[in-house]
Structure 1
Amino acid sequence: MSAPNVPPQAPAPMPNPPAPAPAPMPPAAAAPSTELPRHHVHHSYIWLESVRTIFIIAVCVVVANFSTIIGLVAEEGMGAEAGFIMAVAGIGTLVVILLTFGIVAGLRVVGYKHLYFTVGPDEFTLCSGIFNKKQVHVPYQRVQSVDQRATLLQRLFGVCTVSIDTAGGAANKAVVVPYVTKAQAEWLRAELYNRKNALAAQAAVASGMAGAASATATGMAGAGDPIPQSVEAGIAAMAQGAATFAGNVPSPAAAGNVLDVGAEAWNQVGGVFAGPAQDTGRVTYEYGLTNKELFLAGLSNTTSVGLIFAGLVVGVLQIVGFIFDVMGDAADGAVESALVFADSQASAYLIGAVSAGVIVLVLVLWVLSAVGSCIGYGGFKARRRNNRIEVEYGLLQHTFQGIDIDRVQSVVVKQSFIRRLLGYCELSLGKIDAGVSEDSSSQKNTLANQGIVIHPFVKMNRVPEILAGLVPEFADLPREAKPVAKVALRRALIRRGIIQGGGFWLAVVATLCLAGLTWMGATGTAELLELDSDDLFLLSIGWNVVIVCGYGLAAILLVVDLVGAVLWARESSFAYNHRFMQVSNGGLSRETVSFPRQKIQFGCTKSNPLQRRAGTDTLLATTAAGSGGTTTTLIDASHADAMAWLDWLKPGGNQ
């Protein structure tokens, strides 16, 4: 080590000075602190979480004591005593709820002090826990996506929940940072990606320097030859590719809908504690939904209508049960009056009115579900920002998803039966999904469970345009498709129409019911059951109606299964080139999956004795997308095509 620069001192005037005593050393400067700054979550974590917890407890208490309250109201002779009991019970319940709120809020205050995160040079760290301390370390190289979600209440206050997913599949839980402000979430997302990219660049430079040193040491480069510039060449290629991408991105179609106004208002207001907007990079391509696409997407996502209707039916039955409990002995007279009324002509009009009311109720539920789906898609935006793909949606509950392009496992084009009739499809990207953290009370919604949906309802002819702008890395998809074997049609008719056919097995069940009814009449089982002629006649009519309806439904399902088998055999195929593989499975609905060759973790073929006799095989290609991986399957490819595909899977195949 070099000596410190000490200013020269004048020599002492004494000729033979004694050795000077060592001068006292100045106090050493305090070493710079290595402790990283702690970033606490927003203080709304305390009171919003407490309010949510108490609301859940209050609802559970009311539901648990609902039958008791009804019994007190219905019981005769209680009068003021019943009112006094209810008042005491209500006050006691309120006191318990307030005490619980105080305890929960106190625990949240203590937990808030121990809930923070740090952003270090190599990793992100989340600390939490009061009694059981917990530290979660996430190296920046392992960060796959940084998503954020906000409930309606969180959006009002400008906070959200950030989920940091790593490449670990279902066994690796997502790291969840709750209740951070919108500005803090955007800063954290940009900081994590920037540090990840910086470490990747350092690794590339180190690799290039090591390669140059190795080439120099072995004498591969002559005295006048230039040193290999692998790093500079790579950076130049990346820059050229980025410039080409920025210059050749097709202009997105003007997309906008009526709900975008509300989304813009949310973005401008942000929330009470949202904070200023952060710059997270330049957007090179972006699109939304038109009014038509939003409307069709809402109508196509009404699967919750059946659940809502079933819930209403259960609720009506419970209300009827409570009414019978309240009426007591008077219920028997009401039932007798209802039976007498059923024999009158007015009952037919009442049945018609009830049927019309049920139909109107189902239509109203369907419309409400469609409106709810449209609101869920409100503010939908998909964009390409640097080397990331981002999707956000939700007018009330907001969801933001982002993923690096190198983490995209596949591109999936789905067409349901309705979408096929209209010429539309759903476009999504497969990705590795980390499980929801056990510390998080929120679950991923439907869109998140489907990977990243980059367009919920788009015309098929717009798919190439969107892929070229959003994921140009998937532009070199294979074109020459290899259809399934010719014998696959016969096998599909047997498999889908008989073995897996719902119509065929429903017809079998109806036949067994008819045989059982015939056996009951022939063996005199009705006499053993003490059924008179009228009861037996009514039972026979009822069973005959059920059996006829069963046969009719079985015939319809059988025709649908056979049509689906024919369409599957005509449209199913697979293709591959030097970079990608593509598998299409047709039918009444159709799905096409395209994935890079380097993303295939495992590929194989299998065949049963019947397939070997027919000369066909089943192809299975597994990628890391989804929880536990995703296996794309194609049944009954010809044996020659299957063997050629296995050769392509080998290292260096199809080069």
Structure 2
Amino acid sequence: MTEEQRHPESGMPPVPPGAAPAQQPYSQPNQQPYQQPAPGYYPSQPMPAQPVGGYVDPAAAGWQQPVQNSTEPVKHRVHHSYIWLGSLQVAGMLIVIAFFSVFSSVIGAIADGESIGRGDGPVLLIVGIAVIVGLIVIVGLTALIQTLSYKHLYYEIGPDEFNLYSGIFNKKRVHVPYQRIQSVNQKATLVQRLAGVCTVNIDTAGGSANKAVVIPYLQNSEAERLRTELFARKQAILSGQVYQDAIPGQPGSQAGYAYPAGHPAAGNVLDMPAEILTDVRGVFGGAAVDTGRVSYEYGMSNKELVLTGLSNNTGFALIILAAIGSVAGLAEQILSTAIGRMLVDNGIDFVTRSFAGNTIWAITGIVVAVFLVVWVFSIIGACISYGGFKARRRDSRIEVEHGLLQHRFHGVDIDRVQSVIVKQSFIRRLLGYCELSLGKIDAAAENSSEDQQKSLAPQGLVIHPFVKMDRVPEILAGLVPEFADVPTESRPVAKPALRRAIIRRGILQGSGFWLAVVVAMGQIVVNAVVSPTNPDAVSLLFFVNTGAIVLYVLCVLLLVLDVIGAVLWYRGSGFAYNRRFMQISNGGFSRESVSFPRKKIQYGFTKTNPFQRNARVATINARTAAGIGGTTLRLIDVTEQDAETWLDWVKPGGSMVQ
């Protein structure tokens, strides 16, 4: 071969048209693994060993770029369970609808006095056969549509972007540049877990108008491989390097994890069944894929798991309802003793008065019992939902997975984390615990569903639902060490903020105050319209006025709670900032502290109204990209001097000192 027949730059012999390249990528489990050059590059010398899933510097590796690259992306199809699982889902829905339709028809016929005789047998048989045939036809059509959709549903992993193709008649192609990927999440129902498949969601940074890319029914091993490759390609593009495919069997490819000294990973009784389901991987799950080394990982203890279930919103509603019922019953007893004689003198017997009091107690007891049952089921549901909870740091990614029956996996790059949120509800604050979460950029779901509603929730990615406050620094140091320099010394709100908070929370926004206004207006109208001299109206006036007194007691209780909440807000609110980070805390019965890097602030501004200017206070607002369309964090009634100093700090090129 002459010199002119070799590649002018690399010196490698050219590949004849239609011939396979000299080195093929690793594709079969029993095939000897090869290192695959980056797309569009030829090795000009033997390639050195590279980290798995890592990035190759073309100059250091001695690679040369050819004039043309004819490599075509490979079409990857979803798992074939997309056809039959989707059809079975439709069949299950139809069977449930048919059952309830037949059941309601039978109940209606029985209620009308109709009965089934011997002559009705053939008719019922024909109807049953027609229903079964109809179900079979509908399921068959669904399977046909699923099959056609399956043939047109695939994705490609190109050198610069991920592409998803779908649509039978209306073709759809979604382009996702790797550098725009925000997070790669997985979820799997119980049926999907048994089958070994899952649904993958690729969130991209694009604000509220952006949609998450959904890839349904991927094999578990394929989903793990896809997640690892997408993050690796993104990192390669952002760092200006060339991506190299992960190769099994290379040194350094074994995943592992390390725990802080003296703090082993916590576990609970639901971890074992969750690990069994994960290890089994389902019928078509495939072998586990090495997705990188874990540097930090933790779980939930039995105590944390149970407290997570006990502290849900249903339990809080139960406590409030029980308190209201107790106050109402106590007020009824006081009224019965104090004005009982007056009621007898006015012609209302003791039986009527006792019936009114017993009715209050009976209704309250029934409602509390219903809430108690719902609370027990919600506790069980919360425990199952967080069964097998694990949070870990894997390379530059943060991963959270949980769910015993419906498994959920969330993975996000650290560069997409906008903030760290420490949230304490009333119960968590009493116990000294908190919910720890990360604010990140979210994308809206493709359609209106449960995921769409959850994506609108401002809680972010929960990295621990119920953890002691003194463990928060340890978790942040292991999981997100980039947030280790968060300021701790907070600047409180201005002194006039307490008076303004009492007015704002107790009167302008106070539920007790406005409830008292509504009750007073209703009582005045009823007493003005109904004549007290009418014997038939005496009982009505008694119930109206007695109920008004009970509601006034409730209004006073709510007003006191509003005032206490205003005081707690004043004592627990403030903000802090240093060279790299800012923190805003808003207190009350619940408390939330949000810490975020200065470079993540999109813009900041202050705002005042005439009353604030008179009190020489202002409201500071910081905008980040967290959530769908961004999130504005604000603190009301800081001093004007602190607001001006903060504005000087937040502006580009502003003050860098605290």
Q: Same fold (TM over 0.5)?
A: yes
Deviations 1:116-158 (A, max 9, x none): 1111111111111111111111111111111000011111111
Q: Measure, in 2, the Cα distance between the counterparts of 1:443 and 1:276.
A: 32
> In the alignment, what sits opposite 1:463?
472
Match of residue 395, structure 1, among 393, 397, 404: 404
Q: Measure, in 1, the Cα distance between the counterparts of 2:415 and 2:355.
A: 70
**Which stretch of the first structure deviates more once superposed, 430-439 or 462-471?**
430-439
Equivalent pair of 1:252/1:286 in contact (CA under 8 Å): no
Give 2:210's aligned amino acid: N
**Cα drift, residue 433 of structure 1:** 0.5
Question: Does residue 91 in structure 1 map to residue 91 in structure 2?
Answer: no
> In the alignment, what sits opposite 1:318?
none
Q: Measure, in 2, the Cα distance between the counterparts of 1:305 and 1:567.
A: 19
> In the alignment, what sits opposite 2:268?
257
> In the alignment, what sits opposite 2:634?
633
Decide whether aligned partners of structure 1 residues 90 and 567 sit closer, same or farther in structure 2, where only a CA change above 3 A counts.
Answer: same
Deviations 1:222-266 (A, max 9, x none): xxxxxxxxxxxxxxxxxxxxxxxx999566444111111111111
> In the alignment, what sits opposite 2:18?
30
> In the alignment, what sits opposite 1:578?
579
> In the alignment, what sits opposite 2:296?
285
Give the 5 Å matches for 1:536-615. Answer: 536-615=537-616
Q: Measure, in 1, the Cα distance between the counterparts of 2:158 and 2:186.
A: 21
Give the 5 Å matches for 1:256-655. Answer: 256-303=267-314, 359-438=368-447, 443=452, 445=454, 450-522=459-531, 533-534=535-536, 536-655=537-656
**Cα drift, residue 545 of structure 1:** 3.0
Three-state SS of the structure 1 residue aligned to 2:217 is strand
What value does the CA root-mean-square deviation take over the aligned residues?
3.1
Give 2:612's aligned amino acid: Q
Query: Structure 2: 5+ residue runs without aligned partners?
Result: 7-14, 21-69, 244-256, 322-350
Question: Does residue 132 in structure 1 map to residue 170 in structure 2?
Answer: yes
Q: Measure, in 2, the Cα distance between the counterparts of 1:654 and 1:93.
A: 75
Question: Does residue 150 in structure 1 map to residue 188 in structure 2?
Answer: yes
Q: Measure, in 2, the Cα distance between the counterparts of 1:48 and 1:439.
A: 21
Decide whether aligned partners of structure 1 residues 373 and 509 sit closer, same or farther in structure 2, where only a CA change above 3 A counts.
Answer: same
Equivalent pair of 2:314/2:371 in contact (CA under 8 Å): no
Three-state SS of the structure 2 residue aligned to 1:469 is helix
> In the alignment, what sits opposite 1:190?
228
**Cα drift, residue 113 of structure 1:** 1.0
**Cα drift, residue 170 of structure 1:** 2.1
> In the alignment, what sits opposite 2:30?
none
> In the alignment, what sits opposite 1:209?
none
> In the alignment, what sits opposite 1:115?
153
Decide whether aligned partners of structure 1 residues 86 and 446 sit closer, same or farther in structure 2, where only a CA change above 3 A counts.
Answer: farther
**Cα drift, residue 60 of structure 1:** 3.6
Decide whether aligned partners of structure 1 residues 578 and 348 sit closer, same or farther in structure 2, where only a CA change above 3 A counts.
Answer: closer
> In the alignment, what sits opposite 2:207?
169
Q: Measure, in 1, the Cα distance between the counterparts of 2:126 and 2:522.
A: 58
Three-state SS of the structure 2 residue aligned to 1:121 is coil
Decide whether aligned partners of structure 1 residues 482 and 28 sit closer, same or farther in structure 2, where only a CA change above 3 A counts.
Answer: closer
Q: Measure, in 2, the Cα distance between the counterparts of 1:297 and 1:432.
A: 26
Q: Measure, in 2, the Cα distance between the counterparts of 1:504 and 1:387.
A: 51
> In the alignment, what sits opposite 1:337?
none
> In the alignment, what sits opposite 1:48?
85
Give 2:643's aligned amino acid: A
Decide whether aligned partners of structure 1 residues 305 and 92 sit closer, same or farther in structure 2, where only a CA change above 3 A counts.
Answer: farther
Equivalent pair of 1:571/1:584 in contact (CA under 8 Å): yes
**Which stretch of the first structure deviates more once superposed, 499-508 or 115-124?**
115-124
Equivalent pair of 2:153/2:166 in contact (CA under 8 Å): yes
Q: Measure, in 2, the Cα distance between the counterparts of 1:121 and 1:553.
A: 66
Query: Structure 1: 5+ residue runs without aligned partners?
Result: 6-26, 206-245, 311-341, 525-531
Q: Measure, in 2, the Cα distance between the counterparts of 1:637 and 1:93.
A: 69
Q: Measure, in 2, the Cα distance between the counterparts of 1:478 and 1:2.
A: 65
**Cα drift, residue 357 of structure 1:** 6.5
Deviations 1:623-650 (A, max 9, x none): 0001111111100011111011111111
Q: Measure, in 1, the Cα distance between the counterparts of 2:455 and 2:120.
A: 47
**Cα drift, residue 365 of structure 1:** 2.4
Three-state SS of the structure 2 residue aligned to 1:169 is coil
More helix per residue: 1
Equivalent pair of 2:183/2:412 in contact (CA under 8 Å): yes
Q: Measure, in 2, the Cα distance between the counterparts of 1:38 and 1:635.
A: 54
Give 1:91's aligned amino acid: I
Equivalent pair of 1:293/1:458 in contact (CA under 8 Å): yes
Three-state SS of the structure 1 residue aligned to 2:596 is strand
**Cα drift, residue 55 of structure 1:** 2.2
Three-state SS of the structure 1 residue aligned to 2:462 is strand
Q: Measure, in 2, the Cα distance between the counterparts of 1:426 and 1:447.
A: 18
Q: Measure, in 2, the Cα distance between the counterparts of 1:186 and 1:643.
A: 49
Q: Measure, in 2, the Cα distance between the counterparts of 1:505 and 1:354.
A: 25
Give 1:506's aligned amino acid: L
Equivalent pair of 1:176/1:439 in contact (CA under 8 Å): no
Three-state SS of the structure 1 residue aligned to 2:239 is helix
Three-state SS of the structure 2 residue aligned to 1:587 is coil
Scaled by the length of structure 2, the TM-score of the pair is 0.78
Decide whether aligned partners of structure 1 residues 305 and 395 sit closer, same or farther in structure 2, where only a CA change above 3 A counts.
Answer: farther
Q: Measure, in 1, the Cα distance between the counterparts of 2:439 and 2:271.
A: 27
Equivalent pair of 2:421/2:437 in contact (CA under 8 Å): yes
Three-state SS of the structure 1 residue aligned to 2:412 is strand
**Cα drift, residue 444 of structure 1:** 6.2
Equivalent pair of 1:72/1:82 in contact (CA under 8 Å): no
Scaled by the length of structure 1, the TM-score of the pair is 0.78
Q: Measure, in 1, the Cα distance between the counterparts of 2:448 and 2:502.
A: 49
> In the alignment, what sits opposite 1:232?
none
Decide whether aligned partners of structure 1 residues 514 and 165 sit closer, same or farther in structure 2, where only a CA change above 3 A counts.
Answer: same
Equivalent pair of 2:444/2:452 in contact (CA under 8 Å): no
Q: Measure, in 2, the Cα distance between the counterparts of 1:362 and 1:130.
A: 48
**Cα drift, residue 177 of structure 1:** 0.6
Count how many residue pairs are aligned between Structure 1 and Structure 2.
Answer: 552
Give 2:80's aligned amino acid: H
Three-state SS of the structure 2 residue aligned to 1:275 is coil
Give 2:310's aligned amino acid: L
> In the alignment, what sits opposite 2:237?
199
Equivalent pair of 1:302/1:370 in contact (CA under 8 Å): no
| Structure whose CA Rg is larger | 1
Q: Measure, in 2, the Cα distance between the counterparts of 1:347 and 1:654.
A: 68
Give 2:491's aligned amino acid: K
Give 1:76's aligned amino acid: G
Equivalent pair of 2:420/2:436 in contact (CA under 8 Å): yes
